[in-house]
């Protein structure tokens, strides 16, 4: 290991380490480089000839040969590191370590790219000041230069004279140029693996650009195009080396920009510098043009391999430009991005990529050719595959770089004509289908039912496939531009083809999210799929903004493509196998702050049963989080569910807006509240118990996050229970909750069960009061907390008092625990037991007062503050007067006036907020919300087997028929711990025991 040699050198090792790495022979060779480079190109500028004649060192054959050997030696040496990232960087850095060698290297490159590719017979085409080797200055060098093109014929004869004098031949010069470009390309490739780049690497690349390398390459490629029909093998090889150098230079700048922060100003300049040089020189356009010309008039003398490699370098160049574009876009460098867009929309560039793309597709699927002539396809077809892979029994392999180039030229930011857009979408979808079919999973056998691209069936599968290693990257390269192109087209009144293409695109996304496909992707790629592909299609909307009653076309497209069951499946798989491939996708999805929007849209517009199934699945995930499973992504799931509940209730910006929630969303939200709030409450109680016990500082903030949706939902749900509402007088409020008959009472009973027993409102609010001592609780949440306390106390005074009395008697939180046990005890781990005093259910009066002290000063919501103060008094009275937990009404009922103030506050809450009133009215009863989809009756069920809750096969309870179970274990648990034993006999079904 070369790195091991560092150690014996002690303190000096750092400085000397780089050269120590190198092979002794390479070090010696590099020492000769400056002298050789000087003899190749004695001096720059107008005095080149005089300097050269003074020195008297023309580039002799010996010099050219020596340089060629030297560069070959270095290249072969560096080549061994191409698979070793860190050693490759070290070796490349060592080669460039010496400043003189670095400068000399650049001079050799300068000479190589300035030498005309096809020198004319008359010797008139010379490059002026920068021309190779000062050969233009001497009389005999003129003849050398004119014989430089062996392609023009007769060159060999004239070269004889030069050879006798020991001067370099054009062939030798061309060989040197090839080697210089190839070795430099490799060197730059290796350098660009280091992040951030070393100063020497940066300087090298910057100088390479600054010495007009791209402009020279453009001229050389243009020369090649002019003679495309007559290029000899060596010239073709040289053209290929130019392309290779261009590829590496762009890639280096791209990786430098990606791997370094935007704060590195020199790098940003480098990106812009490269972008401008690319546009200015049209070098990519020249490259693409040469490729097209070669395809048209390939002379018999050169093989197909050369053109094929030229094509691959061209695609690689496009891919690298796009990568740079993405990096610069993230840095916000608009100027450079605009420039790169122009480079990528060059006619030849786009044409070259598209004809290859269409040819590949036609070969693979036999679909439409978009008017591409057969002859062209025949030529390209031969160029597209790796040598030796064209066996009959195996499908040929497509180079993934073509797919990436396609993304580069079809990306939405590059302007397309309307017809062009339709063709682009069609081509991309076909590629997407090819990519998915190449994965060879079960979906492929169904021939990817894409409706917008009718294709002849090919039972034998595609004749060209994307190799497995490139599949994930290709899928991303295809899906991103397709979604981008469709994004702006999918609007109300969009043409039919757009609607179909949109759904097709999502079918492909869903296929890519299959397990067999995800396994082929890296964790980063999976996260990227979750973040970008799934979430980027979500149409922008703001919390509180009313959703349209009909689904927006973007949403219709992803629902038609099957995104809703797909999201549910991903969540279930991720919940069951936290280390499985779906987990990365889900993590990527949940990590985004706006992922709740996706859920919101799925619930609002998805098929109702399927949407209800998603809600149930998320509920089970939360239950697993609460039980201590899935610790790693507990907070993403909790936050996303919480955000969704929280934001969906956000007040509209314009209060007069009639519509609060689409009907289906209101229904699904109620279901979500029923399923999620109990779990969130449990998690919140755990978190609130933690900070006191552990003294940790981070927990209060986490607890606040989980509390926020709970506190936001409690007041509307409590108001929905009907206490003190609808013009009732304060005195009859509780009576109405307790005594009302008919359906309303069922709903109230349901809600009572939900809020008191499942959400455990009393201990939850008690914990929240303690948490509110911390300044981290926002004033909106404090208000919600105050309102919730008043409402709960008005509705269920016994519960509140019992908790307080129990606390005052020094007892453990018996009441709360008993209440809770029904819902959660079965799955609760031991630490779920309500901890001693810190998390007691009791509501300390002093904390209630503290809660509104602040608010009173500010003068807002006076009535609520009054209610809270009254409640504090009542609790104190109850504490003093009662002291026993046996009686329900020990304190509160003994103080009618004080109690009147509390109820007045509650009555006030009903009439003040029109928006909330509408919201409250739109909330359906829990039983109605649950009726959307039957799920396992055992409330502790966490079973995630199967792809969807909607598909679960439930067995009814044999005795009552009124309960359903996903499995025997759930039935037993429900019977033993879940309370079904007590309620089963009450079933309405006759014949039950």
Positions that interact with Zn ion (CB under 5 A):
936, 941, 943, 957, 959-960, 963, 966, 970, 984
Residue 383 or residue 960: which is nearer to Zn ion going by CB? 960
Shortest spacing between CB 974 and Zn ion, in angstroms = 8
- Give the DSSP H or E segment for 965: strand 964-965
Q: Rounded to an integer, what is the distance from CA 137 to the centroid of its chain? A: 58
Place of tokens 């190749």: 40
Shortest spacing between CB 632 and Zn ion, in angstroms = 24
d(CA 231, CA 28) in angstroms, rounded, equals 37
Q: What's the length of the chain?
A: 993
Give the CA distances from residue 560 to residues 596, 606, 664, 752, 949, in Å, rounded to whole numbers and listed in that order: 20, 9, 18, 39, 19
The first and second tokens of residue 670, run together, are 């109620």
Residue 682 or residue 943: which is nearer to Zn ion going by CB? 943
Shortest spacing between CB 251 and Zn ion, in angstroms = 53
Shortest spacing between CB 964 and Zn ion, in angstroms = 9
CA angle 176, 182, 183 (to 5 degrees): 85
Residue 129 or residue 983: which is nearer to Zn ion going by CB? 983
d(CA 566, CA 576) in angstroms, rounded, equals 15
d(CA 614, CA 571) in angstroms, rounded, equals 9
Shortest spacing between CB 822 and Zn ion, in angstroms = 16
Phi, psi of 541 (to 5 degrees): -150, 155
Residue 433 or residue 943: which is nearer to Zn ion going by CB? 943
Residue 844 or residue 978: which is nearer to Zn ion going by CB? 978
Q: How does DSSP assign 798-855, residue by residue?
A: HHHHHHHHHHHTT--SHHHHHHHHHHHTTT--GGGSPPSGGG-S---HHHHHHHHHHH
Phi, psi of 396 (to 5 degrees): -75, 160
Shortest spacing between CB 603 and Zn ion, in angstroms = 22
Q: Is 91 helix (H, G, I), strand (E, B) or coil?
A: helix
Sign of the Cα pseudo-torsion (84, 87, 91, 93, in order): positive
Place of tokens 């679909």: 367
Residue 181 or residue 615: which is nearer to Zn ion going by CB? 615
Residue 506 or residue 965: which is nearer to Zn ion going by CB? 965
Shortest spacing between CB 943 and Zn ion, in angstroms = 5
Residue 281 or residue 973: which is nearer to Zn ion going by CB? 973
Residue 570 C-beta-side C-alpha neighbours within 13 Å: 30
Phi, psi of 362 (to 5 degrees): -60, -40
Shortest spacing between CB 948 and Zn ion, in angstroms = 14
Shortest spacing between CB 902 and Zn ion, in angstroms = 40
Shortest spacing between CB 956 and Zn ion, in angstroms = 8
Residue 624 or residue 770: which is nearer to Zn ion going by CB? 624
887 CB burial (10 A radius; 0-12, 13-18, 19+): middle
d(CA 915, CA 656) in angstroms, rounded, equals 8
d(CA 701, CA 504) in angstroms, rounded, equals 43
Shortest spacing between CB 950 and Zn ion, in angstroms = 15
Q: Rounded to an integer, what is the distance from CA 485 to the centroid of its chain? A: 18
Nearest partner of 99 among 154, 28, 49, 30, judged by Cα? 30
Residue 145 or residue 971: which is nearer to Zn ion going by CB? 971
Q: Is 167 helix (H, G, I), strand (E, B) or coil?
A: strand
Residue 790 or residue 957: which is nearer to Zn ion going by CB? 957
Shortest spacing between CB 629 and Zn ion, in angstroms = 15
Residue 54 or residue 969: which is nearer to Zn ion going by CB? 969
387 CB burial (10 A radius; 0-12, 13-18, 19+): exposed
The first and second tokens of residue 272, run together, are 């812009």
Residue 207 or residue 959: which is nearer to Zn ion going by CB? 959
Decide: 104 and 97 in contact? Cβ < 8 Å: no
The first and second tokens of residue 324, run together, are 């740079």
Residue 598 or residue 936: which is nearer to Zn ion going by CB? 936
Shortest spacing between CB 958 and Zn ion, in angstroms = 7
d(CA 601, CA 606) in angstroms, rounded, equals 8
Q: How does DSSP assign 356-415, residue by residue?
A: HHHHHHHHHH----TT--HHHHHHHHHHSS-TT---SSSPEE--HHHHHHHHHHH-TTS-
Sign of the Cα pseudo-torsion (235, 237, 243, 248, in order): negative
The first and second tokens of residue 949, run together, are 């809750």
Q: DSSP H helical segments within 121-154, as ranges?
A: 139-146
Shortest spacing between CB 675 and Zn ion, in angstroms = 13
Residue 785 or residue 970: which is nearer to Zn ion going by CB? 970
Q: Find the helix packing angle between 400-410 and 304-330, rounded to 10°.
A: 50
Residue 702 or residue 943: which is nearer to Zn ion going by CB? 943
Residue 578 or residue 961: which is nearer to Zn ion going by CB? 961
Shortest spacing between CB 826 and Zn ion, in angstroms = 11
Q: Which DSSP letter does residue 60 get?
A: B
Shortest spacing between CB 564 and Zn ion, in angstroms = 22
- Give the DSSP H or E segment for 956: strand 955-956
Sign of the Cα pseudo-torsion (747, 753, 759, 762, in order): positive
d(CA 109, CA 94) in angstroms, rounded, equals 18
The first and second tokens of residue 337, run together, are 């991005």
Shortest spacing between CB 954 and Zn ion, in angstroms = 8
């Amino acid at each position: 290991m070369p790195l091991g040699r560092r150690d014996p050198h002690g303190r000096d090792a750092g400085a000397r380490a780089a050269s120590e790495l190198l092979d002794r022979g390479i070090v010696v060779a590099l020492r000769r480089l400056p002298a050789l480079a000087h003899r190749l190109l004695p001096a720059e500028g107008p005095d080149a000839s005089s300097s050269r004649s003074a020195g008297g060192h023309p580039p002799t054959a010996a010099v050219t040969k020596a340089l060629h050997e030297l560069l070959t030696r270095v290249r072969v040496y560096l080549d061994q590191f191409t698979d070793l990232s860190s050693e490759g960087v070290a070796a490349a850095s060592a080669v460039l370590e010496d400043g003189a060698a670095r400068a000399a290297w650049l001079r050799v490159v300068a000479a190589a790219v300035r030498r005309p590719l096809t020198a004319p017979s008359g010797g008139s085409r010379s490059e002026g000041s920068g021309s190779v080797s000062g050969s233009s200055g001497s009389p005999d060098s003129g003849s050398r230069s004119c014989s430089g093109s062996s392609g023009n014929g007769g060159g060999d004869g004239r070269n004889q004279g030069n050879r006798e004098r020991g001067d370099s031949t054009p062939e030798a010069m061309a060989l040197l140029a090839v080697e210089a470009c190839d070795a430099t390309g490799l060197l730059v490739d290796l350098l660009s693996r280091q992040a951030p780049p070393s100063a020497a690497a940066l300087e090298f690349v910057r100088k390479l650009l600054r010495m007009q390398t791209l402009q020279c390459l453009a001229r050389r490629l243009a020369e090649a195009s002019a003679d495309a029909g007559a290029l000899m093998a060596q010239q073709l090889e040289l053209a290929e080396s130019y392309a290779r150098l261009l590829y590496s230079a762009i890639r280096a700048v791209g990786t430098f920009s990606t791997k370094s922060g935007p704060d590195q100003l020199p790098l940003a300049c480098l990106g812009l510098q490269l972008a401008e040089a690319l546009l200015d020189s049209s070098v990519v356009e020249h490259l693409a043009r040469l490729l097209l010309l070669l395809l048209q008039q390939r002379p018999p003398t050169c093989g197909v391999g050369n053109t094929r490699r030229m094509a691959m370098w061209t695609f690689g160049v496009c891919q690298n430009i796009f990568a740079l574009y993405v990096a610069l876009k993230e840095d916000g460098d608009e100027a450079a991005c605009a420039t790169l867009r122009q480079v990528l929309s060059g006619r030849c560039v786009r044409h070259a990529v598209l004809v290859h793309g269409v040819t590949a597709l036609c070969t693979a699927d036999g679909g439409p050719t978009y008017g591409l002539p057969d002859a062209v396809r025949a030529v390209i077809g031969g160029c597209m595959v790796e040598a030796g892979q064209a066996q009959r029994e195996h499908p040929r392999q497509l180079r993934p770089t073509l797919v990436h180039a396609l993304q580069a030229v079809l990306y939405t930011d590059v302007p397309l004509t309307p017809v062009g857009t339709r063709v682009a979408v069609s081509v991309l979808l076909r590629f997407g289908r090819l990519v998915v079919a190449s994965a060879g999973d079960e979906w492929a056998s169904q021939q990817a039912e894409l409706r917008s691209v009718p294709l002849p069936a090919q039972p034998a599968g595609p004749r060209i496939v994307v190799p497995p290693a490139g599949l994930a990257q290709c899928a991303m390269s295809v899906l991103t531009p397709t979604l981008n192109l469709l994004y702006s087209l999918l609007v109300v009144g969009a043409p039919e083809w757009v609607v179909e293409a949109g759904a097709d695109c999502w079918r492909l996304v869903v296929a890519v999210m299959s397990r067999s496909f995800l396994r082929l992707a890296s964790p980063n790629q999976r996260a990227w799929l979750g973040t970008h592909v799934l979430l980027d299609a979500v149409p922008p909307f703001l919390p509180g903004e009313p959703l349209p009653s009909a689904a927006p076309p973007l949403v219709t497209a992803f629902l038609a493509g099957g995104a809703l069951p797909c999201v549910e499946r991903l969540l279930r798989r991720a919940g069951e196998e936290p280390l499985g491939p779906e987990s990365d996708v889900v993590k990527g999805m949940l990590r985004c702050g706006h992922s709740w929007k996706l859920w919101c849209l799925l619930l609002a517009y998805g098929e109702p049963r399927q949407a209800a199934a998603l809600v149930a699945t998320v509920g089970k995930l939360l239950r697993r989080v609460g039980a201590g499973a899935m610790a790693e992504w507990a907070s993403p799931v909790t936050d996303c569910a919480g955000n969704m509940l929280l934001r969906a209730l956000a007040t509209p910006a314009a209060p007069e807006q009639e519509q609060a929630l689409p009907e289906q969303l209101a229904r699904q939200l109620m279901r979500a509240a029923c399923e999620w709030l109990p779990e969130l409450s449990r998690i919140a109680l755990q978190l609130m118990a933690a900070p006191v016990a552990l003294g940790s500082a981070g927990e209060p903030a986490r607890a606040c996050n989980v509390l926020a949706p709970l506190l936001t939902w409690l007041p509307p749900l409590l108001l929905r229970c009907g206490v003190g509402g609808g013009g009732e007088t304060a005195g009859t409020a509780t009576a109405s909750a307790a005594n009302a008959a008919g359906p309303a009472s069922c709903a109230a009973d349901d809600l009572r069960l939900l809020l008191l027993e499942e959400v455990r409102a009393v201990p939850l609010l008690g914990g929240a009061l303690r948490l509110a001592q911390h300044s981290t609780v926002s004033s909106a949440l404090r208000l919600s907390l105050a309102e919730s306390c008043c409402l709960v106390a008005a509705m269920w005074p016994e519960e509140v008092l019992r908790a307080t009395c129990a606390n005052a008697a020094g007892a453990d939180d018996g009441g709360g625990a008993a209440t809770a046990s029904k819902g959660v005890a079965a799955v609760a781990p031991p630490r779920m037991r309500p901890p001693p005093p810190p998390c007691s259910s009791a509501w300390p009066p002093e904390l209630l007062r503290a809660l509104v002290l602040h608010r009173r000063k500010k003068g807002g919501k006076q009535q609520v503050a009054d209610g809270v103060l009254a409640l504090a008094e009542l609790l104190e009275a109850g504490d003093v007067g009662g002291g026993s937990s046996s009686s329900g009404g020990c304190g509160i009922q003994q103080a009618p006036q004080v109690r009147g103030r509390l109820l007045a506050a509650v009555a006030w809450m009903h009439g003040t907020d029109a928006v909330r009133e509408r919201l409250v009215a739109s909330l359906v009863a829990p039983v109605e919300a649950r009726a959307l989809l039957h799920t396992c009756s055992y409330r502790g069920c966490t079973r995630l087997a199967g792809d969807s809750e909607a598909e679960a096969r439930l067995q009814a309870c044999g005795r009552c028929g009124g309960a359903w179970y996903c499995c025997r274990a759930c039935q037993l648990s429900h019977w033993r711990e879940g309370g079904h034993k007590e309620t089963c006999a009450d079933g309405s079904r006759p014949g039950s025991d």
